[in-house]
Amino acid sequence: METLHLNTTQNVSLEFPVASIADRILAWLLDILIMGVYALAIMLIFVAWLQMDAEIMLFLLFLPLPFYHFLFELLFQGQSPGKKMMNIKVFKADGSQLTPGSCFVRWIFRLFDVGLTSGALATIFIIVNGKGQRLGDFAAGTTILKTSRKHTFQQTLWTEVEENYEPRYPEAEILTDQDVQLIQEVIQTTTGNNRPDTYIQLLSNTREAIEKKTNTTAKQSDIEYLRSMVKDYNACHRG
């Protein structure tokens, strides 16, 4: 399976599997199914309520559908319902935040490399490119990666804290949810049997970024320091 390294805003490189063509096609078919159900529902409502103006029905039917992918990817951080069900997501290839402009460029090119060619051009470009990018992704600087995780976002942030526990690093309070999620991703990536060859450097880079942000130092090992930061963050923000 092809993988891609993304550099986060903390200059930490994380590795994600590139979404397969099968995943993307299934996500596209699921989205087509959802759009078809929506269109059928609007037409049934029109038949049931004959007093509805035809212009209103056409507006409700045809205006949202062409913008389906653009709106969902813009409002739901790179995921349409089909992508969410297939655990794939649009990312910026450089690891930066997905922007409205990138979503718009992907949507414009979709009309050509997916719509006019029934996905044939997109499939060819993805195979040749090797980075999960169709023509629209290449133009927008995006890619689609596999995002399946064993835990939800909130579960990833949470860790058990004893009732009388006092934070070792009170400075952890200034960390954001995204910082803690990154730490947990790194910890999960660098433990177990499938850890990358660069896991020592990955831990070190993450620790350096967190030390710089919180202005802390410690004699703990990198992974123990990062685990302490996650625990202290939870302690600082517990109800």
Distance between CA atoms of 239 and 236, rounded to whole angstroms? 9
Task: Say what the pLDDT of residue 32 is.
Answer: 92
User: Do 164 and 129 belong together in one domain?
Assistant: no
Containing structural domain, residue 220? 153-237
Q: Which comes out higher in pLDDT, residue 12 or 34? A: 34
Mean pLDDT of all residues in 151-166: 64
User: Do 194 and 91 belong together in one domain?
Assistant: no
Domain boundary, last residue among 83, 113, 146: 146
Per-residue pLDDT tens for 20-77?
A: 888 888 999 999 999 999 888 877 777 776 666 667 767 766 778 889 999 999 999 8
Quick check: 13 pLDDT over 60?
Answer: no
Task: Say what the pLDDT of residue 127 is.
Answer: 77
Per-residue pLDDT tens for 131-145?
A: 778 999 999 999 898
Neighbours of 197 (CB within 10 A): 7
Domain boundary, last residue among 119, 146, 173: 146
User: Do 126 and 164 belong together in one domain?
Assistant: no
Q: Which comes out higher in pLDDT, residue 156 or 32? A: 32
Q: Which comes out higher in pLDDT, residue 11 or 170? A: 170
Task: Say what the pLDDT of residue 115 is.
Answer: 80
Q: Which pTM was predicted? A: 0.60
CB 137 within 8 A of CB 92: no
User: Do 125 and 227 belong together in one domain?
Assistant: no
When divided into structural domains, the chain yields a total of 2
User: Do 26 and 119 belong together in one domain?
Assistant: yes
Q: Which of 150-154, 187-191, 230-234 has the lowest mean pLDDT?
A: 150-154
Classify residue 196 as left (phi > 0), alpha (psi -120 to 50) or beta: beta
